[in-house]
Structure 1
Amino acid sequence: MDVLLHITTPDAAPVAAALGRALSAEGANWGCFLTNDGVTVLNDAGFVDAAKDAERIAVCEHSWDLHMAGQDCPAERGSQTVNSALMAEAGQVVSL
């Protein structure tokens, strides 16, 4: 994976969407790990649309249960171990 977007806040949604679209336009392989209340970016239509081109989207399962309880998760649920593995795979990490 060329770039991992590490999203920790819902305020990152517009920036993450724009960056994801730009990465896809350049042919980069990118993915996201969503944690803390950053998992709520999956409610943002612009981000969800941009994320369709992502190689992998994973959310912290604990954060999902805390901030999005009762909702179906449209992404891979994982632990902070998944976060660490994605960071190890990524050529660059952008923390938002």
Structure 2
Amino acid sequence: MKKDKQKVIGEELSDERLKALLTLQPAAGGSRDHHSLLRAYRYLRADDFSRFIPFFLEAGFNLNARDGDGKTLAETVTHHQHGAPYLKTLIEAGAH
């Protein structure tokens, strides 16, 4: 990181920044729905992820979209040590 740049941790994300994740495009042949959801999971804190999901659904995206291996994000998160709050959000929003 450049010396003139400060690392920002715990920054409050605006709705616009959360919605920007909806514009991400996957590699050729990948599911846009799954890609956006996975990126949100990887880069957002659990609170922000729960704020992101309504935007995701309002945009018409599918919570049960599958990756190249045929897994939904909920199936993937089940195996992650810190995935419980994300999984709870996904299930409450209708993922299976």
TM range (shorter): 0.3 to 0.5
> Normalising to structure 1: TM-score of the pair?
0.33
TM-score normalised per structure 2: 0.33
Which has the higher relative contact order, 1 or 2, with Cα contacts under 8 A spaced 6 or more apart? 1
Specify which structure has the higher proportion of strand: 1
The structure with the larger Rg is 2
